[in-house]
């Protein structure tokens, strides 16, 4: 008699657990990479569930984080700390090709593609031009220092410190600094559910 074989179990996805443990210990990817002897790119892939670590890598990461391999593999989940802190030097950032715009990624990686927030710094005469996002996406930009101009749908809106613009981004859009001094703001991107 042939019994059906059970479907093979999927390997554990340790990305969220690894990211949570790393953030709870206020470690940057660079710092954990050095302590564990695992490349930063591999750590990033593991945290985004784009790669599954080998047993040797799990062992190195567990030792570097001071947890058991079972904790890292999703055994008994450690309780979430009441507060996690990301040091300023550990906050990842993106720069425009011309170097005039910087987005510091303030939101956690697990919310990427759902709810994202950034600190946006645009140097004098710089512009952050974006292609259309998926239908229903919106941005909220609050200017903290300087002035920024939002251009979308054929409309230009100039924002002074303290002003907030809310606008659809399912079309090309641009945020500009038309002044001679840097401008800084908070940018929130909401993607449709």
* Structural domains in the chain plus CATH codes: 15-72 (1.10.260.40), 91-190 (2.60.120.10)
Burial (Cβ within 10 Å: 0-12, 13-18, ≥19) of residue 150: buried
Predicted model pTM: 0.60
pLDDT in tens, the chain (193 residues): 454 555 555 666 688 888 888 887 888 888 898 999 988 888 888 888 888 888 888 888 888 888 888 878 875 455 667 888 888 888 889 999 999 999 999 988 778 778 899 999 999 999 999 999 999 999 999 999 999 999 999 999 999 999 999 999 999 999 999 999 999 999 999 988 7
Buried b (16+ CB within 10 A) or exposed e, 78-113: eeeeeeeebeeeeeeeeeeeeebbbbbbbebbeeee
In degrees and rounded to multiples of 5, residue 72 shows phi and psi of: -70, -35
CA distance 53 to 70: 13
């Amino acid at each position: 008699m042939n019994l059906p074989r059970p479907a093979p179990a999927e390997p554990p996805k340790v990305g969220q657990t690894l990211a949570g443990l790393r953030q709870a210990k206020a470690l940057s990817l660079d710092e954990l990479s050095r302590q564990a002897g695992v490349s930063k790119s591999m750590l990033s892939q593991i945290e985004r569930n784009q790669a599954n670590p080998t047993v040797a890598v799990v062992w190195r990461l567990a030792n570097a984080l001071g947890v058991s391999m079972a904790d890292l593999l999703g055994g008994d989940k450690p309780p979430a700390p009441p507060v996690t802190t990301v040091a300023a030097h550990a906050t990842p950032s993106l720069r425009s090709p011309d170097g005039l715009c910087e987005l510091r990624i303030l939101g956690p990686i697990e919310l990427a593609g759902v709810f994202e927030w950034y600190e946006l710094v645009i140097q004098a005469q710089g512009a952050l031009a974006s292609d259309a996002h998926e239908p229903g996406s919106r941005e909220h930009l609050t200017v903290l220092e300087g002035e920024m101009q939002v251009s979308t749908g054929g409309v230009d809106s100039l924002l002074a410190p303290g002003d907030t613009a809310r606008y659809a981004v399912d079309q090309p859009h641009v945020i500009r600094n038309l002044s001679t001094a840097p401008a800084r703001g908070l940018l929130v991107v909401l993607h449709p559910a």
